[in-house]
Structure 1
Amino acid sequence: MAGAAVAGATPLIARAVTEEEIEAAEREQAELERLAQEEQTLLAAAQAREGALQQQLAVIDRQRFAAVERLRDVNRQLETVELEVFDINASIANLNRALARETDNLGARVRSLYKAGRTTMLETVLSSSSFSEALDRATSLERALAQDLEEIDALRGSRQTVHLRTADLAARLQQMDELRLEAAAIESELQRRSQEQQDLIFGVQQEQSSLDANIDAFQAEAAVVGNRILVLRDIRERELAQLERILALQQAQDQARELARQVAETQGTSVAGVYTWPLWGLITTEFGGCTWGQCPHIGLDIAGDMLAPIVAANDGIVLVADYVVPGNRQASYGMIVVIAHNQNEETLYAHLDDWTSPPPVSPGQFVSRGQVIGYVGLTGWTTGPHLHFEYRTNGVAQNPRNVLV
C-alpha cells in the first residue's frame, strides 16, 4: 500500500512564523504591561488618597463624638435648670401667697386704726387707768408695728430674691438654649463633613475597583499574549529546526546523487534485469492498480512478516532514511529509505519499522545490492506489515517488474 507523498519530495511548511510576528506580539505584550503599570500607579495614588481621607474621617468622627458628649452634657444641664426653675416658680408662688396674706392682714390693721381715728401714743397712754397699763399698751402697740414692718421688709426681700433668681435662671436658660443650638449646629456640620468624606471615600473606592478591573484585564491579556509568544517561538524554533533538517537532507541528497553519478560513470549505468527483489513475499498490489490510499498505485506492495529484513535492490547512495514527514510516523509512507543508484535512477522503500529495528543506514552512506537497509514495519498509512517498493527514473515512477530479477 502506498501513501500520497512523492518519494524524495521536500516536506512543505504550511505557514512560516516570522520574526516580525513574534516582535509584534512582544510589542503588544510590552504595551499591555505598560498600561497595567500605569493603572497600578494610579491605583497606588488612589489608595494613598483613600488613606488620607480615612484619617480625616477618623478626626471628624472623634470631633463628632466630642460634640455628641457636649450635647449630652448640655441636655443634662438643661434638665437640671428646668427642675430648678420649676422649684423656684413653686417657691415664688408660695411667697406671693404668703405676701398676699400678710398684706391683707396689715391692710386690715391699718383700716382698723383708720376707723378708730387718729389715736396717738399719748392718747393711748392717757386713756389708760394706770401708768403700768399705759406702758403695756404703748409697748404692745410698738411691738405690733415693728413686727409688721419687719414682716413687710422680709417679704419685700424675699420677693426681690425670687425676682433675681428668676432673672438668673432665665439667663441660664437662654445660655443653655444657645449652647444647645450651637451643639446642634456643630453636629449638623460634622454630619455634613462626615457624609462628604464618606462620599469621597466611596468615589475613591469605586475608582480603585475600576483600576483593579483594568489591571486584571491588562494582565490577563498580557498573559494571553505571552503564551502566544511562547507558542510562536516554539513554532518558529521547530520550523527552523525542520528547515535545517530539510536543507541538510537536500544537501545530502545532492551529494548522494553526485556520488551516484560518479559511481555510475565508473561502473556503468544500471539496465533492466540488474535489480534484485528487496523482499520475497506475496505481491498484494501491483503497479498501476488502486489501493484505498493511492490510485493509480505507483509501486509494488510486497507482504512480509513483521521485522523481516529489507535489502537494497542495487548499489547506490542513501538519500533519505527518515519519516516522509519529519517527526510524524503515521503520515503517508511513514518511515522510508530512498537510494540513488545513478544520476537518473532511484528506489524507495516505505512503511519500514521505526521502533524495534529502525533503518541501519543514513543519508550519504554507500550501500551494496543485497545489503539490509531496513525492516518490515507498520508506519504510515498501512493495514498490515508489508513493503511498498518504488522504482523511479528521472523522478518518474516506473513498474519495478521491468528491472527486478
Structure 2
Amino acid sequence: MTAGGRLGDPSGVVQGAPRPVGRGGGDRLRKVAILGLIVVFLCAMFSAGLASPARADDDVSTVLKKISDLERAIQVSRQNAARYQQAQSQYQRAVAAANARIAALSNQQLNAQSQAEDVADDIAIAEEQMSLLTLQLNDTVAYVESLDAAIDEGTKMLAQREAIYGDHLRLVYRQYRVTPLEMLLSSANLADFAQRVQLLMVVARQDQQLATDIKRLKTDNEDKRATAQLKQAEVEGLKVAMTQQRDALTAKRAYLDQLIVDTSAARDATQSAKEQFNDAASNAAQAAQSEQARVAELQRQRAAAEQLYAQLAAQVAGRFGLNKAYPGGKLVQWPVSGTITSYFGNRCFIYLRRNYCDFHTGIDIAAPMYTPVRAAAPGVVQYVGYEAYGAMIVIIGHYSNFQTEYVHLDNRARPPIVQAGQTVAAGQVIAYIGMTGLTTGPHLHFMTILNKTPVNPLPYLP
C-alpha cells in the first residue's frame, strides 16, 4: 500500500505508507519535470561534447543536492516553528494560570488581613473585658474580706448578746422562782413591789429583743457570706471564660498572621514564575518568528535553484525529443504483473493501528520481492534515487509533459539497473520490487504524470 505525495524534486516525493492528507500536489510534479529536463541536459552535454560530462554532472548534482537539502531544511524549520508556537501557547496558558493564582492569593491575603484586623479588635475588647473583670474580682474579694470582718464583728456582738441574754435568763429564772405574794411580802412597800414588777417586764422585753437581734444577725451574716461566695465564683468563672476566649483569639491571630506571610510568599513565587513564563513565551515567539523567516529564506533559495534548473533544462529540452507534448494513446505495457491493492484517488486505510485518509496519486500493484519492474513505454530515465521518506524511485520521461514513476524499488540485493539520462525501450527491466520507504509489503507504486499532475494510470495502461 502506498500514498501519493508531492511532485517535483524526487527527494521530496512522498511515496509508500500512509502520510498526512494534503502532501500531494503540483509542486512535486513541477520538480520532477525540472529534474527530467536537467537530466536531458546532462545527456545532451555528454553526447554533443559541448562540455565536460563530469563537470556538468558535478554542477547539476550539487544544485540537486542543494534543493534536496533545502527541502529538508524547510521541513525541519517548519517543524521547529510549530514546536516553538506550541511552547509559546503552553507558556501563555501557564501565564494565565499564574495570573489567576496571583489574583486568588491576593484575595486570600486581603481576606486574611481583614480577619486579622477583626481578630485584633476582638482581642482588644477581650483585654478590656478582662481588665474590668479583674477590677470586679478585686472589688468582690475586698467585699468578701469586708464581709468576713463584718461577720467577725457580728459574731463578737452575737456572743455578747448571747452572754447578756444568758444573764437575763438566769435573772428571770431566779425571779420567777419567787411567787408574787413572796415578792409583795419581801417588798419594803407597794412602790418597791411595783418597781420590781416593772423591772421584770423590761427584762422580758429586752430578752425578746436580744433573741430577735441574735437571729437577725445570724441570718444577715449567712446571707452576706453566700452572696459574696456566689459573686466571687461568678467573677472567677467569667475571668476563666474570657481568658480562654482571649487565648483562642490570640491563636487565631497568630494563624492569620502566618497565613498572610505564607500567602505573600506564594504570591511572590507565583509572580516570579509568571515572569519566567512570560520570558519563555517571548523567547518561543521570537524563535518561531526566526524559524518562519528561515523558512521564507529557504523557500526563496529553493525557488532560485529551481529556476536555475529550468534554465539549464530549457537549453537542451529539444535534443531528446522531450519537447513534444503527449499526443494521446496508451502505454505499451504494464510495468509488472500482479494484483492491484490500492487504486488512484481518495482512500482511507489503517496503518500501525491508526486510521488514515489521503489522496492516492497512483496504483499499488502487489508482487513478490525482486520481481522485475519494466519500463511501461520507451523514454529517457530522468531520475534514479530516493524520495524524502526513503523510497527508491525511477522516473522515466516519455514526452515533455508526460512521465511515469516507479516507487518502492529494492536498493540492496537488486538496486535499479538504469541511470539518469539513459534511454530505455518499452519492456526493458529498470529495477526490482522492494520495500523501501514507508510500505506495508512488497509492491510497486506506479504513477502517470500529465502536465505536472498525477492522473489515473489505468486509462493509460493497455
Using the size of structure 2 for normalisation, the TM-score is 0.44
- Which has more radius of gyration? 1
